[in-house]
Amino acid sequence: MNDKVRINLPIEDEEVPLLRETVGWARRDQDYPLLFERCTFWAGMRGENEELIAFGYLCGMGLEHGYIEDVIVHPLYQGSGIGAKLVKRLLVEAETTGIEIVTVTFDTEHAPFYQRCGFTYGGGGVWRIKNG
């Protein structure tokens, strides 16, 4: 396995939907390649067979604030530290590009992970459109 997390790793349109599916998330095929065009930057890692095993991205307006979304690690690699490497690499890139504040939304069970990555746990809210 190549344990290097790369910023703006070249990724084919179907790779992230496949990775999302492995963790039980909706594929959201319609989001790709549009997501790559609209997000500020993304990070990814490939496994021994060059398959995408980790992905996450940062969005924002390119000003002082950005937010991290869709941190995904293939189930076979979860618990190995790849997720933390991915998040920390996104944070380094944020700092390098002048983004001073980064937020992330997560389920409370993931709070210890994000705290280990340097986030402060705080309150917030999420609004979602109601399904029909």
Reply yes or no on whether the pLDDT at 129 is more than 90: no
Tell me if 44 is assigned to some domain.
yes
Separation of CA 4 from chain center: 15
pLDDT at 123: 79
96/98 Cα distance (integer angstroms)? 6
- Residue 77's domain is classified under what CATH number? 3.40.630.30
Tell me if 11 is assigned to some domain.
yes
pLDDT in tens, 46-70: 999 999 999 999 999 878 899 999 9
Q: How many domains does the chain have?
A: 1
Tell me if 123 is assigned to some domain.
no
CB 60 within 8 A of CB 23: no
pLDDT at 1: 56
- Tokens of residue 18, six digits: 């496949």
- Tokens of residue 32, six digits: 């790709």
For the entire predicted model, the pTM comes to 0.91
Pairing of strands 65-73, 101-104: parallel
Tell me if 129 is assigned to some domain.
no
